């Protein structure tokens, strides 16, 4: 098991890609702290992990609460004596172009998609520096490297995650800490509902994916879990400051 005895924190792990990433880390021997606003979802992830022989704990938390997030991360370190991996995954889509999106929606996007990543990384950094090693993986999006139709809040925040990832990687590589970003494309989870709503429904988005994505289909969450495992494990030990786009080829089409 390539993550044996390591301790990982995954935000937004109560469902979807976050859950799949947490599960594959646990499969490979890590103890995983599941952070999610949805307490039921977090507990369900833990139950699945334990049923498969893994180790996990659930922490119900709103990651946009700076103090609560920092306290939760410090508590994980206090219980286990180490934090080897942080996967900042919690995020949200808020649809709308410049004139249509609400200012509140834009602020919510920033707080969840960018600020919570910043606060979590800031909280784990002293622990990782003291250990002389650590991995931070931030979830951006294919929208973080290209234009996304009438999604100004989402696209702005996801581009910001890419910039923040590169900056932190450059600043902290000398401490043995690697920082990378994952940019998923079309993954079939309820996360996409705002965009699907905006473009006119499931049929429209299915047609869009067939025409615009070279592989011609959605990804399954398990197909994104494998790149997650690569980036948080020693398989990518000389990779930092990089952006891994997993989008079925959409960004080259």
Tens-digit pLDDT profile for residues 104-163: 999 999 999 999 999 999 999 999 999 999 999 999 998 888 877 788 999 999 999 999
**pLDDT value of residue 101:** 93
Query: Residue 218 domain-assigned?
Result: yes
What is the per-residue pLDDT for 134? 98
Q: What's the number of CA atoms in the CB half-sphere (13 Å) around residue 184?
A: 26
48 vs 96 pLDDT, higher one: 48
Alpha-carbon distance 33 to 56, whole Å? 6
180 vs 183: CA distance, rounded Å? 10
Catalytic residues: 154
pLDDT at 86 (0 to 100):
98
The whole-model pTM stands at: 0.94
The answer to whether residue 215 sits within a structural domain is yes
Domain membership of residue 86 as a residue range = 7-252
Longest dimension (CA), the chain: 51
Averaged over 162-182, what is the pLDDT? 98
pLDDT score for 199: 67
Q: Judge whether 140 lies within some domain.
A: yes
Please name every residue paired with 245 in a beta bridge, in sequence order, or none if there are none: 183
C-alpha 33/C-alpha 77 separation (Å) is 10
Mean pLDDT for the chain?
A: 94
Task: Write out pLDDT tens, residues 56-109.
Answer: 999 999 999 999 999 999 999 999 999 999 999 999 888 889 999 999 999 999
Give exposure, 178-212, as e/b (b: 16+ Cβ within 10 Å): bbbbbbbbbbebebbebbbebbeeeeebeebbeee
Rounded to whole angstroms, the Cα distance separating 63 from 84 reads: 19
Percentage of the chain beyond pLDDT 90 is 82
**CATH number, residue 45:** 3.40.50.720
Q: Are strands 55-60 and 243-246 parallel, antiparallel or unpaired?
A: unpaired
- How does DSSP classify residue 113? I
Sheet strands side by side (includes 31-36): 55-60, 31-36, 7-11, 85-88, 134-139, 177-184, 243-246
What per-residue confidence (pLDDT) applies to 35?
98
Q: What is the mean pLDDT of residues 221-245?
A: 97
pLDDT at 147 (0 to 100): 79
What's the pLDDT band for 208 if we cut at 50, 70, 90?
A: confident
Q: How many domains does the chain have?
A: 1
Residue 195 has pLDDT above 80, yes or no: no
78 within some domain: yes
Q: Is residue 142 part of a domain?
A: yes
152 HSE (CA, 13 A, CB side):
11
Measure Cα distances from 165 to 9, 25, 30, 44, 168 in Å. Answer: 17, 21, 23, 30, 5
- 93-132 exposure pattern, b = at least 16 Cβ within 10 A, e = fewer: bbbbeeeebeeebbebbbbbbbbbbbbbbebbbebbeebe
User: Quick check: is 2 in a domain?
Assistant: no
Q: What is the mean pLDDT of residues 23-46?
A: 98
Average pLDDT over residues 245-250: 94
User: Quick check: is 1 in a domain?
Assistant: no
The rounded distance, in Å, linking the Cα atoms of 181 and 227 is 11
**Does residue 186 sit within a domain?**
yes
């Amino acid at each position: 098991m390539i993550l044996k005895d390591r301790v990982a924190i995954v935000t937004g792990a109560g469902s979807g890609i976050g859950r799949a990433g947490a599960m594959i880390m646990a499969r490979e021997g890590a103890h995983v702290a599941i952070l999610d606003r949805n307490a039921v979802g977090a507990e369900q992830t833990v139950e699945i992990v334990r049923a498969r022989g893994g180790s996990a704990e659930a922490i119900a938390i709103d990651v946009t609460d700076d103090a609560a997030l920092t306290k939760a991360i410090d508590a994980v370190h206090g219980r286990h004596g180490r934090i080897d991996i942080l996967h900042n995954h919690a995020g949200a889509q808020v649809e709308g172009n410049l004139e249509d999106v609400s200012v509140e929606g834009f602020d919510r996007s920033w707080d969840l998609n960018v600020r919570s990543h910043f606060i979590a990384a800031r909280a784990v950094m002293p622990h990782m520096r003291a250990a002389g090693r650590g991995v931070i993986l931030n979830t951006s999006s294919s929208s973080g490297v290209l234009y996304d139709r009438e999604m100004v809040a989402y696209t702005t925040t996801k581009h910001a995650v890419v910039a923040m990832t590169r900056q932190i990687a450059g600043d902290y590589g000398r401490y043995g800490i690697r920082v990378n970003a994952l940019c998923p494309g079309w993954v079939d989870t309820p996360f996409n509902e705002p965009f699907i709503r905006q473009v006119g429904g499931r049929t429209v988005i299915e047609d869009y994916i067939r025409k615009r994505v070279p592989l011609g289909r959605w990804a399954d969450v398990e197909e994104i879990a494998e790149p997650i495992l690569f980036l948080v494990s020693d398989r990518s030990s000389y990779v930092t400051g990089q952006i891994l786009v997993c989008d079925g080829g959409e960004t080259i089409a």
